[in-house]
Structures are given as C-alpha cells and as structure tokens.
Amino acid sequence: MLDLYDKIEEAVATIRSQWQETPKAGIILGTGLGTLADKIEVEASIEYGDIPHFPVSTATSHRGRLVCGKLNGLPVVAMEGRFHQYEGYPLKQITLPVRVFKALGADTLCVSQAVGGMNPYYKPADVVVLDDHINLMGDNPLVGVNDDRLGPRFPDMSAPYDAELMDVAMEVARRENFVAHKGVSVAVTGPCLETRAEYRFLRMIGADVVGMSTVPEVIVAVHCGLRVFGVAVVTDMCLPDALEPADVEEIIATAGKAEPKLRALFEGVLAHLSK
C-alpha cells in the first residue's frame, strides 16, 4: 500500500490540470446506469486511459471516463463506468479512484451498482438503499502494509453506510412515490453468475442482493474517511426455486428502466449535502 500515495498524487495532478474545482462528492455509476452523467454540467471529461494508474473499464455498458462538473449546482466528479475484480485488476487498483476523490477534496462517496435480487419481496427495477454488506470476494483492498497518510490500520466497519443519507434517500422515494428498500448486499468475484445452491447460501447468511462490485470501494471510502451513500438496482431475480437463465442485455435494459429512480435518489442526497 505504500506506493499508493504517489499514484494518487499523480492522478490528482492530471485531473487538476483540466479541472480546478473541489468536488463535494465522488460518484461511481455501475452497469446500465451511466447516463446519469448526462445530468452533469460537464466542465471536464477525461478518459480513464489518460489518468495515470487508472485501469481501463472492459465491462459491458461501462463508458470509461471521468466526468467533472456540477450536478444541480453542486461540484461533483463521476466515474462513468467502474472496474471489477473479474476483469483481472487487483482491488488496490480498482479502488484507487475513491482515494483520488478524497484527495481532490470530496467528503462523500455516492455509489451505485446493478445486482441480482434474492429477497422475494423485491422485483426487477426496484432500488435498494444499502445499509450493510458482506465481502465474499476473497480479498480486501487494505491488505498489506498500511499507509497512515491514507487511513487507519483497522478501520471500523460497524456502520459503513451513512444513516442520515439513507434516511434522506428513503424520504425522496416516499415523496416521489416509488418503492425503495433498505437491504444488505453481498459481493462476489464473478464473472459467472451463481448456482442455485450458492443463491440459497447467500440468502441464508443475510444478503438481500448480490453483485460483483461496490464493497471494495466502500471499504476504501471508510478507510479514508468518506461518508458513503450506496444504492443498488435489482436487474434480475435470483430465486433458486424459480431460477431463469440470465440475459445480460435484459439486465442492462432493466437497469436503464430504474435510472429515473436512481437519479432522484442521488439528486436528493446531493441536494442534502449542499445545505
């Protein structure tokens, strides 16, 4: 981890050469959810390949650029597409952008992901405000010698998602008259989707939804002192006794249908942060 500090500084310097604002929040947009970036008043747009030490996104529907600007007047920096462990990247590299957000001056991380729903009370295109998670990725981005400049050796994870921001999001959903659940996400490596037995196991240990991202980014956000708001979009149901083959195109399309709800939640949380 001791080489991260210099990498962060190099990435920040590149971004600062094109954008000098201090973002209030960093945003990570997941599968099928990238068009939220269209709402941002863009002041700078940088391809990941042009930022030192950033990986290049290879996942389906991930645009692969950093958008800097204002969302409803609030300075933000948004990842239009993210990185995954199944793409072959180590978690320290996957989570580097979160540390860059912090170094740019952000105090909050807003993160979204597409997930499979295991809670039978959910349905496709529902949104789930994350209130906890389970890490089953077989790795942790904090493994290795700790750099105290970046965060503590043993960060507390008793409340990784900010309770106040969760309440704001639930109030937005009530006001806008759409269903939002609070739930627990479990992160797995992927890229294959789970077997029926695995879905039963994941549900048994307390997960409502399953995905292949977000948890590493949240761990690093907590490590470096960012508030976290996380939301997941249920793109398909993963009920082991009524399991249907996954269709990636349909998953992406379902995520797109949920985007107005996701946008309302993000805009409501960001408006709260601007007060």
Establish how many alpha carbons lie within 13 A of residue 105's alpha carbon, considering only the half-sphere containing its beta carbon.
12
Nearest in space to 111 (alpha carbons), one of 10, 246, 211, 249: 211
Q: How far apart are CA 30 and CA 116, in angstroms?
A: 13
The domain that holds 121 is classified in CATH as 3.40.50.1580
Residue 29 tokens, joined: 């947009």
- Each of the 275 residues of the chain gets a pLDDT tens digit; together they read 678 999 999 999 999 999 999 999 999 987 656 677 788 999 999 999 999 999 886 655 547 899 999 998 999 999 988 889 999 999 999 999 999 999 999 999 999 999 999 999 999 999 999 999 999 999 999 999 999 999 999 999 999 999 999 999 999 999 999 999 999 999 999 999 999 999 999 999 999 999 999 999 999 999 999 999 999 999 999 999 988 888 888 888 888 889 899 989 999 999 999 87
Pairing of strands 180-187, 227-237: unpaired
Compute the C-alpha angle 61/246/262, nearest 5°: 50
Sign of CA dihedral 157, 158, 164, 165: positive
CA torsion, ordered 110, 267, 31, 221, to nearest 10 deg: 0
Q: How many structural domains does the chain have?
A: 1
**Residue 195, domain extent:** 4-273
Q: How would you classify residue 151: left for phi > 0, otherwise alpha for psi between -120 and 50, otherwise beta?
A: left
